[in-house]
Amino acid sequence: MTDTQLLKLPAPAARYGTLAGALIAFAGTFLSWTYTEEFPGNLTVNGYPGGLQLITLTGALLTALLALAALGTPGLRWLTPGGPHSAVRLMALGTLAATLYTVIAIAVELDGLIALDPGAWISLVGSLVAVAAAFGLPDDTPYDPQPGDTALARLTHTLKAPAPRAPSRTLPAWADILLIAVAFGLALYVFTYGIDIDSANSELFVGYLILVALGALSLARAGLFRRLATLTARHRSVSLAAMFVAAICFPFTQDNDTYALIGTNILIFATVALGLNVVVGLAGLLDLGYVAFLGVGAYTAALVSGSPQSSIGVHFPFPLAVLTGAAVSLVFGVVIGAPTLRLRGDYLAIVTLGFGEIFRITMNNLNGNSGPDLVNGSQGVPNIPDLELFGFKFGEAHDVLGLSLGRSGNYFLLMLLFTAIVLLVFHRSGQSRIGRAWVAIREDETAASAMGINGFRLKLLAFALGATLAGLAGTVQAHVNYSVTPEQYQFAGTAPPNSAFLIAAVILGGMGTITGPLIGAALLFLIPEKLEFMQKYQLLLFGLALILLMRLRPEGIVPDRRKQLEFHENDQLAVPEQRLTGENAPEAATGVTKAGA
């Protein structure tokens, strides 16, 4: 027993206790949890888990697997290359949180605790046993408990301490590729499961979110994500192919075209967030009116795509309409950026916020009364026709290899192509000399100018590029939604995309990264779409989420390496002297101290 344990349990007893609790929780999911089918998911059937029982079952199974890995079970050690104990603790917490939430939801929606059948109590007790035993496990990273420390302090250490690095292990190339394919396949399944949850079954979606959030933290602490990152870096081409193959498969898994539409809107939102990431993440320019460039591209496409209500009365082919929308957005980016980018910080943010509001108000006034009748004012431009590209009609359902592909699926694949283009542009820009100059300006514009970097010209280039990418996504959005109205492009509206949500997506996902804004955009779009009761309080809830993120993980979900080192500088240097043993221990400790200095 080590002095780092807050609960005085021998390590083997804690591991076996965690395993036993997980198995008890697992067994409880095969028993009835309530007597009536009024609670969503039908939790009344013995021997056939459903609804939130499946969430507890999955969490308990993963907890048991990690506990077996901690026990050194042959064949399971690969699950925890970075250390098993923190991973087990977080997964057990996820199982307990999902189970406790289900118990509370049943009690609130039905007749109180009397509505609970034995299965619910068995799973709850099992998950409590697993958590209690997991907190008796030693830490994978050094932790010095202070007098008065509680389990909350232990949990905070588990969340914030850097995961230990696993020793590199070379596998055959075919095994690496197989693991990459399995990882992307599992990611597609988890994402599809969340999308397929009916918005009326908000209880199931909340349980899903709880388990996915803590489960992802657990797998990260286990070192699996770091190992996957190593594999994807080693096989970059294969990883990109696997990612896009998984994305292409998504619309074919959807029987309901409404759920495929959610995926399409997520891609639109994510693509615009990537464009904003050029401005905010790379160049460090706070743009609070960025959604206006999305509106410029959407309005341009609506006016030139053959809508009967278009005041221009032209019908460009879609490729030409895309180029027109991107070009007009580029012009607006240069026109707005040229006089404003000489400002910095808060002043620049205020001016860009003003531009976003001016755009929306101007579109409202172009109604024939307050101004020229160009875009029908608040009515917008409706009846935008569906696309037809090379004879392929996006508004009709198609059969592909015996699988049905609806209208939303067609636009999903089109938007996936646009997302790939934006990803390529972002990656190439970030790796270029211009991208490195943007990062230098973001870190210290004065120092960058002293090194000969033309700050204004490069900031204007970032602003124009971000506007172009947003306009590109706007051309597709106009056709997906059939209409374009000014209310779609506010600073903070009831639904994304808007400027506040775009900035939140970049910060939540990780500034300056490629996959970060994609994950942030998916979360910020999917959660309000599935949880209708959150729509009135979503800004408050997302504000609280950002506060927690800044406290626990300021670098974002997918951290940029530079930001990670910046925010966790002290953690990187924390090497305990007691681990330095042998004849060269004093020299090693001195070397560490010098390296830290």
Residue-wise pLDDT for 202-260, tens only, equals 889 999 999 999 999 888 888 888 888 888 888 888 888 898 899 999 988 887 788 88
> What pLDDT does residue 503 have?
87
* 85, two tokens: 């104990």
Which DSSP state fits 29? Answer: T
- pLDDT of residue 592 exceeding 70, the answer is no
CATH of 257-528, one of 1.10.20, 1.10.3470, 3.30.300, 1.25.40: 1.10.3470
Beta carbons of 39 and 109 less than 8 angstroms apart: yes
Strands 398-400 and 392-393, sheet pairing: unpaired
Does residue 78 or residue 365 have the better pLDDT? 365
Cα–Cα nearest to 99, from 50, 56, 45: 56
What pLDDT, in 10s, does the model give residues 449-472?
Answer: 888 888 889 999 999 999 999 999
What pLDDT, in 10s, does the model give residues 92-134?
Answer: 999 999 999 999 999 988 888 888 999 999 999 999 999 999 8
> What pLDDT does residue 573 have?
41
In angstroms, the CA 168 to CA 102 distance is 40
Q: What's the pLDDT band for 55 if we cut at 50, 70, 90?
A: very high
What pLDDT, in 10s, does the model give residues 182-206?
Answer: 999 999 999 999 888 887 788 899 9
Question: Angle between the 318-340 and 345-365 helix axes, to the nearest 10 degrees?
Answer: 130
The string of DSSP letters for 274-319 reads HHHHIIIIIS----S-THHHHHHHHHHHHHHBT-TT-SS--B--HH
What average pLDDT is seen over the chain? 82
Q: Please measure the distance between the N-terminal and C-terminal CA atoms of the chain and give it in whole angstroms.
A: 34
Cα–Cα nearest to 107, from 44, 57, 55, 34: 34
In angstroms, the CA 121 to CA 47 distance is 16
Beta carbons of 178 and 162 less than 8 angstroms apart: no
> What pLDDT does residue 120 have?
93
> What pLDDT does residue 582 have?
38
Handedness of CA 251, 254, 256, 259 (dihedral sign): negative
> What pLDDT does residue 575 have?
40
Q: Residue type for 286, please?
A: L
The string of DSSP letters for 531-546 reads -GGGTTTHHHHHHHHH
In angstroms, the CA 3 to CA 17 distance is 19
Length of the chain equals 597
In angstroms, the CA 248 to CA 269 distance is 18
What pLDDT, in 10s, does the model give residues 283-316?
Answer: 888 888 888 999 999 999 999 888 888 878 788 8
* 77, two tokens: 């050690």
In angstroms, the CA 244 to CA 228 distance is 17
> What pLDDT does residue 525 have?
85
Q: pTM for this one?
A: 0.82
Q: What's the pLDDT band for 58 if we cut at 50, 70, 90?
A: very high
The string of DSSP letters for 473-506 reads HHHHHHHHHS-B-GGGS-SS-SSSSSHHHHHHHH
Neighbours of 228 (CB within 10 A): 17
Q: What's the pLDDT band for 578 if we cut at 50, 70, 90?
A: very low
Domain residue extents for the chain: 11-164+181-234, 257-528
Beta carbons of 322 and 472 less than 8 angstroms apart: yes
- How much of the chain, in percent, has pLDDT values that exceed 70? 86
Q: What's the pLDDT band for 566 if we cut at 50, 70, 90?
A: low
DSSP, collapsed to helix, strand or coil, labels residue 580 as coil
